[in-house]
């Protein structure tokens, strides 16, 4: 007799949008983003702000009209968020990546407010940019490691250096979070790991690219332990100061059980995307068309320029 066990997952959200079907509130406050939402009640199945559910749905659908499904996965979205506008759009959907501070504001019963606690976080915009650079480099290293391309140090070394350049701030962020929580965060970075990454990125060891890449990836992933929680409150507490642990849990999945991912062959795009069919080189039909047009005119233009030059010579 076969027993079917349903997977238990109430949700993994930093906050719910104030309006059903909407997004979190985000506004700029000097050099920070102020992000606001409601403490999650987990009443909406497959909520858009549930990062884990959206990762799972990205390979299944259905997808909203007009959405490029190859780029719908949250890990791909963050790895591609190279502009300030893209990074703001990401936190507006999922919440802060690493928060400077977090406040819980209870409802005012005297005003008849019945909604749950309001959550407000400050996300330093420079820290957000640095986190995106680290994650994008790590995402690309994961891709290189499974494709065997990390054997080429010209591809892997710049990515290792980029991680090393920005990850040093994690120690200060850990101390900041610990001081506000008054107990140790669930994630943990240590000076030995940072020193190891710095030595590998700096070429202090004899080059062994595939091992170097895997060591750095594992150091990043082991910073954010895989943890089970007894209830939704404990689960939410693990991401109260940002959804970075969730992002690296997705990277762990990509590393251990990879989805087929690639980099768009359009030279003016180069975004990450999840491959949907064999031989796919572009993240969208639009990118495919634009690159083919560019290649055509590059080839055709050379002939036209040569013909124009010959005509001008004959006239002389």
In the numeric block, which tokens belong to residue 153? 């140090």
Instruction: For residue 278, tell me if it sits in a domain.
Output: no
Q: For residue 118, give the 3-state DSSP assignment.
A: strand
Instruction: Look at the alpha carbons of 225, 61, 22, 272 in this order and tell me if their dihedral is positive or negative.
Output: positive
Q: What is the pLDDT of residue 260?
A: 72
pLDDT digits 0-9 by tens, 78-136: 999 999 999 999 999 999 999 999 998 876 654 455 567 899 999 999 999 999 999 99
Q: How many CA atoms lie within 13 A of 164 on its CB side?
A: 20
Q: pLDDT at position 206, please?
A: 60
Contact 71, 46 (CB under 8 A): no
According to DSSP, the residues that pair with 257 across neighbouring strands are none
Residue 290, SS3? helix
Q: Residue 68's pLDDT is what?
A: 59
Judge whether 212 lies within some domain.
yes
Task: Measure the CA–CA gap between 195 and 197, rounded to whole angstroms.
Answer: 5
Alpha helices in the chain (DSSP H): 51-57, 74-80, 84-94, 125-147, 153-167, 169-181, 191-201, 209-223, 232-237, 244-256, 285-315
Best CA proximity match to 282, nearest among 267, 296, 295: 267
What is the structure's pLDDT at 172? 96
Contact 223, 192 (CB under 8 A): no
* 273 occurs within a structural domain: no
Domains in the chain, number:
1
Predicted local distance difference test score (pLDDT) of residue 164: 96
Is 3 inside a domain boundary?
Answer: no
Is residue 216 included in any domain, yes or no? yes
Determine the structural domain holding residue 72 and report its residue range. Answer: 25-59+68-259
CA atoms of 71 and 259, how far apart (whole Å): 12
Residue 289 in domain: no
Residue 101 burial (CB < 10 Å; 0-12/13-18/19+)? middle
**Residue 19 included in any domain:** no
State the pLDDT at residue 1.
43
pLDDT for 3 equals 43
Would residue 246 count as lying in a domain? Answer: yes
Contact between 100 and 32 under an 8 Å Cβ cutoff? The reply is: yes
Within 10 angstroms of residue 251's Cβ, the number of other Cβ atoms is: 22
Mark the ranges of the chain whose per-residue pLDDT is less than 50.
Answer: 1-8, 65-66, 110-111
pLDDT of residue 74: 93
Nearest to 242 by CA among 127, 121, 133, 130: 121
pTM of the model: 0.84
């Amino acid at each position: 007799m076969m027993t079917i066990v349903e997977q238990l997952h109430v949700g993994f959200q930093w906050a719910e949008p104030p309006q059903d079907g909407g997004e979190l509130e985000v506004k700029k406050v000097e050099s920070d983003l102020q992000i606001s939402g409601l403490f999650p009640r987990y009443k909406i199945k497959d909520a858009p702000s549930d990062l884990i559910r959206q990762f799972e749905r990205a390979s299944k659908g259905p997808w909203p009209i007009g959405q490029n499904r190859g780029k719908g996965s949250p890990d791909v979205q963050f790895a591609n968020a190279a502009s300030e506008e893209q990074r703001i759009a990401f936190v507006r959907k999922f919440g802060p990546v690493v928060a400077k501070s977090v406040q819980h504001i209870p409802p005012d019963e005297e005003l008849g407010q019945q909604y749950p606690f309001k959550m407000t976080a400050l996300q330093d915009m420079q820290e957000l940019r640095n986190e995106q650079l680290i994650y994008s480099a790590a995402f690309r290293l994961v891709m290189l490691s499974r494709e065997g391309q990390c054997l080429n140090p010209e591809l892997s070394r710049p990515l290792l250096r980029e991680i090393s350049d920005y990850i040093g701030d994690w120690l200060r962020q850990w101390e900041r979070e610990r001081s506000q929580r008054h107990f140790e965060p669930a994630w943990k970075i240590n000076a030995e790991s940072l020193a190891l990454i710095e030595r590998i990125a700096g070429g202090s060891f004899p080059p062994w690219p595939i091992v170097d890449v895997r060591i750095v990836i594992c150091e990043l992933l082991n910073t954010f332990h895989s943890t089970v929680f007894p209830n939704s409150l404990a689960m939410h507490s693990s991401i109260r100061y940002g959804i970075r642990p969730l992002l690296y849990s997705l990277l762990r999945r990509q590393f251990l059980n990879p989805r087929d991912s690639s980099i768009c062959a359009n030279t003016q795009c180069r975004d990450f995307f999840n491959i949907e069919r064999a031989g796919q080189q572009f993240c969208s039909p639009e990118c495919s068309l634009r690159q083919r047009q560019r290649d055509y005119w590059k080839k055709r233009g050379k002939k036209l320029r040569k013909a124009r030059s010959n005509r001008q010579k004959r006239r002389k």
